[in-house]
Amino acid sequence: MKASLLALLGGASAALAQVRGFNYASQGQDYNGFASQFKTAAALAGADDFTSARLYTMIQDGTTDTVIDAIQAAIDTKTTLLLGLWASSPQDTFNNELTALKSAIQQYGSAFADLVVGISVGSEDLYRISPIGIAQGSGVGQTPDVLVDYIGQVRDIIKGTALASKPVGHVDTWNVFTNSSNAEVISNCDFLGLDEYPYYQTADDNPIGNAGDLFFEAYDKVANVAGGRPIWVTESGWPTSGPVSGEAVASVDNAETYWQDVACELEHRGIDFWWYILADAGATPSFGVSNNGVPLYNLACNATSGHTSNSTSSTSTTSSAAANSSSTATASGSQTSSTLNGTATSAIGGSGSSGTATAAGSAITSTVVATASAGSTASASGTGFSFATGGSSGGSSAGESGTATSTGANAVYTGAASKVEGSIAGLVIVAGVAAFAL
């Protein structure tokens, strides 16, 4: 039974697969450097499937408009790419970025396009012209009107090419996304790339114990102005060494705590993210998670790790029942940028008990699980994908029975004979079978 369900869900996994990776600077890098780093990231102990690279520019270091060597390295190592075009520059310089983008499309075709998850026009350009950025001496930025124009130029470049369907967006900090003067940039984006570092939030209560809360508070504030657009976390991290920043202390232990509270929670929620950074030996502060390919701290997500948000953006309820009892659990929520999108329900009943779980949701990727032994009943409905199972398999005793119903635009029903019908268009799951685990 479990094998058949996993086979069913396998078709959706590729489309819904989470993207995880690191940021990669261009300065001083060539093909060998990029390829070596991509291989190191993919094999990093504890970091599961960190096989994506976020780039800041399309131009190879030391050239005017030659395609960055990271493209060929990504093709050879099967590394997915969040492309970047440096936008804090006048039009004649930005033209070089456009030239390199066109050259990459012509030179590499579908081998390149198939790896691209998105295209970011600019990186923290609005932050650098904000009062905070100016006070920090952050350098040259860009105005909202020019960014909107540059985004339009990129859309024109990729129109009719292998990159035509790729989302185009912008990367910046939470406080400029929530500034209404930048709303036009948001309205011209397919996604928002969020750079968020509680370590630097010295105006807030920012010790490591509060860092997770600060991060997800910022994420939720951006979600409130995103208009339903996906929010990708394009930079975050905590330094292993460096100066004290407000109440934030740089240390290996604190970097590991932040990884567990933020990176593992992003992984748990299914939010795409690119961590800062794989390695940066000698930098101050130093955010690198590895040295010579060896993790500086535990990168495996603990079973109890991750941040528990108080936000109403997602709700999950679980109810467990002992033998000879009944259980019912319901929950609802609406989280637009997570695999937990809509409704999450779980009901568990022991042998000889009755378990009932019901769920309804209109979101595309919701997850509902009900597990019961004897006399199980499970039902699900949704405008996305609804799935229900029931029967005497998956560890139930002989003679036990179960029922399952499923309704919705794309409904799947599994009865006692483990028959599966329907198609996957989203992800709402209800399981009425004992010992089944996703």
Q: Annotated catalytic sites, by residue?
A: 124, 235
Which helix (H) or strand (E) segment holds residue 147: the answer is: helix 144-158
User: Would you list the DSSP string of 260-313?
Assistant: IIIIHHHHHHT--EEES-S--TT-SSB--SEETTEESS--SPPTT-S-----TT
Whose CA is closest to 21, among 35, 45, 46, 38?
38
CB 240 within 8 A of CB 252: yes
In angstroms and rounded to an integer, the radius of gyration of the C-alpha atoms of the chain is 24
Q: Which two tokens stand for residue 410?
A: 């794309």
The residue type at 351: S
**Residue 212 burial (CB count, 10 A):** 20
Q: Which residues contact 211 (CB under 8 A, 6 or more apart)?
A: 198, 199, 238, 248, 257, 258, 261, 262
CA angle 331, 336, 338 (to 5 degrees): 80
Q: What are phi and psi of 234, to 5 degrees?
A: -95, -20
Contacts with 280 (C-beta within 8 Å, 6 or more apart), sequence order = 286, 287, 288
Q: φ and ψ at 154, to 5 degrees?
A: -65, -40
Tokens of 28: 């001083």
- Return d(Cα 36, Cα 324) in angstroms, integer: 58
Which tokens go with 26? 């261009």
Look up residue 88 and give its two tokens.
């804090």
Sign of the dihedral defined by the CA atoms of residues 277, 279, 283, 286, in that order: positive
What is the widest separation between alpha-carbon atoms in the chain? 76
Residue 46 CB contacts under 8 Å (≥ 6 apart), including other chains:
295, 298, 299, 300
Residues 30, 35: Cα–Cα separation, whole Å: 9
